[in-house]
């Protein structure tokens, strides 16, 4: 059996990346069984410096090497590291930086630098698919490399990968979903009379809410996911800034409780219909009939309903998300990228 040893460059080393590194360890036997033995060659952060070792870095070595000294910019680091790794047949950039919702950066520049340097790239960041899917997927295709982002929507539940790998020759006409855990949790809590601020604080304590909670409650996170889904599934060319967007606030509690009193549920729904330039993408509060598959979602649950020809309606539900699931999405993307390259480098 050929063993592939992809060298990984971790761009961003926060919650998701650290969980991913532990998951690689926990999954070592399964990865061995697939003939994949990844190692970490480099790490770069924004405020904590960078580390590189062609021989590989352990979790403890990363912790001791990240120093806080300002280093190169991350695109420079990616380019220089990939140059030093030019004899290595398989390099994968694992991008997990924080998202600037107005521009999709710095992740877009990281994906460009990775592909330009000959690497495959996997990311949990919504920015690249939400702002620059057409460009980046074209560049990846021309380079013969992967650009994968399963973790950007519904954590580890396969959405993009399931549709791409298992639904060939389908046309998706429409989707709608509850894709933001924090707002669904707050809406559920407010139905029961819990104050908005208390429910939001619980999500922040649990590390589920984004560092800047306005990204969740003002609908930005849902808009970024809707844009990514529309760009990929409907061949749209939108950004989060062009998605019609609504959020939730303390005043939404009354409507949520009122809907519940009538057996209905108030949900923040991300949806799109039409294809290409005709795609209309929005995030809006909707009062749902109790039989609606999105109406049964409590707490942090997510779901996505897809209409397609000829398959009809498919609903994917995520009961519980979280860091290890997002880390798992990166792992599945890593396996996909290596398998695609395996034939070429065997
Ligand atoms: N947390 C989740 O459950 C979850 C789920 C799905 C998707 N995501 C997405 O995954 C990504 C990472 O989330 P996280 O929770 O791991 O965030 P985090 O804990 O805040 O970590 C972000 C990391 O990115 C680094 N960084 C930021 N800007 C950078 C730059 N220009 N160059 C190099 N490194 C940079 C930060 O470095 P410093 O610490 O030095 O600033 C930090 O190491 C985000 O895009 C998030 O939306 C997260």
pLDDT digits (tens, 9 = 90+) for 53-89: 999 999 999 999 998 787 789 999 999 999 999 999 9
Tens digits of pLDDT across the chain (346 residues): 789 999 999 999 999 999 999 999 999 999 999 999 999 999 999 999 999 999 999 999 999 999 878 778 999 999 999 999 999 999 999 999 999 999 999 999 999 999 999 999 999 999 999 999 999 999 999 999 999 999 999 999 999 999 999 999 999 999 999 999 999 999 999 999 999 999 999 999 988 887 789 999 999 999 999 999 999 999 999 999 999 999 999 999 999 999 999 999 999 999 999 999 999 999 999 999 999 999 999 999 999 999 999 999 999 999 988 899 999 999 999 999 999 998 754 4
What count of residues does the chain have?
346
Mutual orientation of helices 107-116 and 127-143 as an angle, nearest 10°? 10
Strand partners of residue 317: 303
Q: What is the pTM of this model?
A: 0.96
CB-neighbour burial class of residue 130 (10 A; exposed 0-12, middle 13-18, buried 19+): buried
Query: Which residues make Cβ contacts (< 8 Å) with residue 312, sequence separation at least 6?
Result: none
CB burial of 328-344 (b: ≥16 within 10 Å; e: otherwise) equals bbbbbbbbbbbeebeee
Q: Cα-flanking dihedrals φ and ψ of residue 258, to 5°?
A: -65, -45
- Ligand 1 centre to CA of 16 (Å) is 7
Atom of ligand 1 nearest to the CA of 152: 7
Which residue, judged by its Cα, is nearest atom 21 of ligand 1? 14
Out of 45, 106, 110, give the residue to mutate to test ligand 1, the one with the largest number of ligand atoms within 8 Å of its CB. 45
Q: Omega into 310 within 30° of 0, i.e. cis?
A: yes
Nearest CA to ligand 1 atom 34: 45
Evaluate whether 281 touches 243 at the Cβ level (below 8 Å): yes
Read off the DSSP letter of residue 274: S
326 lines ligand 1 (CB under 6 A): yes
The residue to mutate among 14, 318, 323, having the most atoms of ligand 1 within 8 angstroms of its beta carbon, is: 14
16 close to ligand 1 (CB < 6 Angstrom): yes
- Please report the atom of ligand 1 found closest to the CA of residue 321: 3
Check pocket membership of 18 for ligand 1, CB cut-off 6 A.
no
Query: Ligand 1 in contact with 14 (CB < 6 A)?
Result: yes
CB 117 within 8 A of CB 284: no
Count of other CB atoms within 10 angstroms of residue 195: 13
Cis-peptide, bond into residue 222, ω within 30° of zero: no
CA–centroid distance, residue 276 to ligand 1 (Å): 31
Testing ligand 1's pocket by substitution, the residue of 10, 46, 51, 107 carrying the most ligand atoms inside 8 A of its CB is: 46
């Amino acid at each position: 059996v050929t063993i592939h040893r992809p060298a990984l460059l971790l761009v961003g080393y926060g919650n998701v990346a650290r969980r991913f590194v532990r998951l690689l360890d926990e999954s070592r036997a399964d990865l061995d069984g697939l003939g994949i033995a990844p190692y970490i060659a480099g790490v770069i952060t924004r405020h904590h410096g960078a580390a590189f070792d062609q021989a590989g870095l352990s979790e403890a070595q990363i912790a001791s090497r990240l120093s806080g000294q300002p280093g190169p910019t991350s695109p420079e680091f990616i380019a220089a590291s990939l140059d030093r790794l030019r004899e290595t047949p398989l390099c994968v950039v694992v991008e997990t930086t924080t998202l600037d919702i107005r521009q999709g950066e710095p992740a877009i520049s990281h994906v460009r630098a990775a592909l330009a340097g000959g690497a495959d790239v996997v990311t949990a960041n919504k920015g690249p698919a939400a702002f620059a899917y057409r460009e980046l997927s074209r560049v990846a295709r021309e380079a013969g490399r992967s650009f994968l982002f399963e973790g950007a929507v519904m954590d580890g539940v396969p959405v993009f990968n399931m549709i791409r790998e298992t639904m060939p020759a389908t046309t998706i006409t429409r989707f709608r979903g509850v894709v933001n855990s924090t707002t669904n949790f707050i809406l559920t809590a407010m139905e029961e009379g819990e104050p908005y601020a208390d429910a939001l604080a619980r999500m922040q304590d649990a590390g589920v809410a984004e560092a800047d909670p306005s990204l969740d409650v003002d609908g930005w996170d849902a808009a970024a996911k809707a844009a990514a889904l529309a760009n990929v599934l409907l061949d749209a060319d939108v950004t989060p800034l062009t998605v019609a967007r609504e959020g939730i606030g303390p005043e939404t509690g009354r409507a949520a409780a009122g809907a519940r009193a009538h057996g209905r549920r108030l949900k923040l729904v991300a949806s799109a219909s039409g294809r290409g330039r005709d795609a209309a993408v929005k995030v809006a509060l909707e009062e749902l009939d109790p039989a609606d598959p999105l109406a049964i979602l409590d707490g942090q649950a997510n779901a996505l309903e897809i209409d397609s020809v000829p398959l009809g309606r498919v609903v994917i539900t995520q009961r519980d998300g979280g860091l290890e699931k997002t880390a798992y999405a990166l792992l599945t993307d890593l396996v996909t990228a290596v398998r695609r390259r395996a034939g070429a480098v065997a």
